[in-house]
Amino acid sequence: MSSEVSRRQVLIGGSIVAGTALLGSPAFSGVPANMGIPDVDVYVMVVDGMRPDELRADLTPMLTGLAAGGIHYPNASAINIAETLPNHTAMMTGVYPARSGVPANSVYDPAVGKARDLDRASDLQTSTVLERVRTELGLTTASVLSKHYLHGLFGDRASVVWDPQPLLPGTAHAPDNFTIDALIRIVGDSSPRLSFTNLGDVDRVGHLDLSGPSIRIARTAALQNTDNQVRRFVDFLHATGRWNRSIVIVLADHSMDWSEPARLVGLDRPLNADPLLAGKIRIAQNGGADLIYFVGPDEDRSEATARIQQIVGSVAGVESSHLPAEFNLGANAGDVVAFCSQGWRFSDPTPLSNPIPGNHGHSVTLPIPFFLSGGHPALDGGRALAEQARTIDVAPTVAALLGLGAPVGGWDGVARTAGVAVPA
């Protein structure tokens, strides 16, 4: 099969099915940033929910070795809100949620009158490098996303799309060994120049971590298994002669924090106890963050917003509250964003709404591992850089490596190509 395909392909259950549905070509600047590296294959691999302190030789030796031999950003960060959907979106768009339309995992949707996950392809309102590399450069791209809602959000933007399976009950994700099986199969069959992979095991086990010894062992086992799955893929690249063409961008979308059972924060009750706000508040709960929406008259919105922040600031376990514009979150994020303190979690509207002890979205879960590695001679590795690389920097980095121009309006992120010989 040709490595540069002109028709849509979807990988379902191990077979490739050809189709004709094309996304409309997105607007772009029309001027490539550079010529790109002509013989590079770029693999973006997300170890979902991994903490930077888990990148160590006794726990994740393969990942740690790749970081040491590559270009490592030890001060890297997710963007707010530190959730899966907005940060994967940031990686592939290079823009803030105000432009992409994806500020959190869950938002209040007035059309349905309740909070819902942003798991529809139509929820992503701007272009990604997955389809731009395909349509503008004519190169094959692939998405291999283990989580069902990630798969739904990114839709069929890539040339080759894996339908994640088997999905585990309760987690709605495919285990990492099946995900790497699919990635190896896709690379072997289609040789994509850009692939985007989510490995979900570490995050899914992390949500269940009670900080007790038996569950801690489970997270350790998940990290070790994910590390071994990355090793399998790297071994495959070596065995098939692809390693010397490869630049692998490895990062997490957020890290993880754990709370004790009694450390719950509920905002629904105190907000609805206020006469101005009663019955006019909607909350999209995101574990470590609450998005708060005022659904009353617009003429009351300014006063209501100030009242919301005043009340939220007095609730135990709340670290801070902000206007969405502070983080370029856009209209989907509502009127006020609240973050819980380390070791706490939001549970709205009732204490039973969020029984999961492992959460993210708040400030302590912003730090992530982030590095570039690979065997391509253009990469001069073995260095750690102090700059604070962020998830939003992945798309402009991919674009620089492949010679793709910026979108209209430019990138909000920065190309992290220090130590990579990119042609001018």
Tens digit of pLDDT for each residue in 222-263?
A: 999 999 999 999 999 999 999 999 999 999 999 999 998 899
Assign 34 a pLDDT band (cuts: 50, 70, 90): low
Tens digit of pLDDT for each residue in 311-340?
A: 999 999 999 999 999 999 999 999 999 999
Tens digit of pLDDT for each residue in 269-316?
A: 999 999 999 999 999 999 999 999 999 999 999 999 999 999 999 999
Please give the pLDDT value at position 45.
98
Tens digit of pLDDT for each residue in 175-231?
A: 999 999 999 999 999 999 999 999 999 998 877 655 555 567 888 999 999 999 999
Mean pLDDT computed over 70-99: 98
Please give the pLDDT value at position 31.
46
Please give the pLDDT value at position 296.
97
Residue 9: pLDDT above 50? no
Place of tokens 């105190």: 270
Please give the pLDDT value at position 214.
56
Residue 365: pLDDT above 50? yes
Does residue 89 or residue 28 have the better pLDDT? 89
Please give the pLDDT value at position 207.
78
Assign 354 a pLDDT band (cuts: 50, 70, 90): very high
Please give the pLDDT value at position 170.
84
Percent above pLDDT 70 for the chain: 90
Order of strands, sheet of 15-19, starting from the edge strand that comes earlier in the sequence: 15-19, 8-12, 160-163, 141-145, 194-199, 41-47, 246-251, 370-373, 71-72, 383-384
Assign 19 a pLDDT band (cuts: 50, 70, 90): very low
Please give the pLDDT value at position 212.
52
Residue 69: pLDDT above 80? yes
What is the overall mean pLDDT for the chain? 91
Separation of alpha carbons 345 and 334, rounded Å: 20
Please give the pLDDT value at position 206.
79
Mean pLDDT computed over 90-106: 98
Residue 132: pLDDT above 90? yes
The model's pTM = 0.93
Please give the pLDDT value at position 269.
97
Mean pLDDT computed over 50-58: 97
Percent above pLDDT 90 for the chain: 85
